[in-house]
Amino acid sequence: MTNDERQYLIDFANEARKRAYVPYSNYPVGAALRTKSGRIYTGVNVESAAYPTTMCAERVAVFKAVSEGEREFEVLALVTDNGGSPCGGCRQVLAEFGLDTVVLMADGQGRLVLETTVAKLLPEAFTPAHLPRKAG
C-alpha cells in the first residue's frame, strides 16, 4: 500500500468522523474499511443513552460491508482525536474476517499514529477455525 493510499483512507475516515453521534463521550470516531474488491465502507460511532447499546465505528463499517455481501477486507483506517485503538469487541469482529487485515490508526489531524494488523492487535484470537465443523 502506498503512502497516498494510506492517507486517502485516513482522510475518508476523518471525514466520516464528522457524522459521529457522540452526545455523551464527545469522542467522535470514524472508520473507512477497504475490501478486497476495492469498495470502501465508512462507519462512525453511534452512542445511546443506554450505554451498552452504543456501536463503534469499526463495527458499523464491517456490518455495512457484510450487509452488502463483502467478506474479505484489506485495510481499516480508524481516526480518533488522539489516535486511539479499536476496542476488544471491534478487534474480535475484525478477526472474524481475517487476521491479516491492516489497521491504520490516525489522529484528528489525519496523521498516522500506528500501522498494524488485526493479528497483532488480537494475539491468540478466537476465530471460526476454532469451532467444530458440522458434517453434512
The catalytic residue positions are: 58
Look up residue 80 and give its DSSP letter. Answer: -
DSSP 8-state symbol, 120? H
Residue type, 111: R
Contact in structure between 9 and 77 (CB atoms under 8 Å):
yes
Report the C-alpha gap between 113 and 129 in whole angstroms.
Answer: 31
CA–CA dist 46, 43 (Å, integer): 9
Q: What is the Cα–Cα distance from 63 to 75, expressed in whole angstroms? A: 15
Matching residue, cell 465502507: 41
- Amino acid identity, residue 76? L
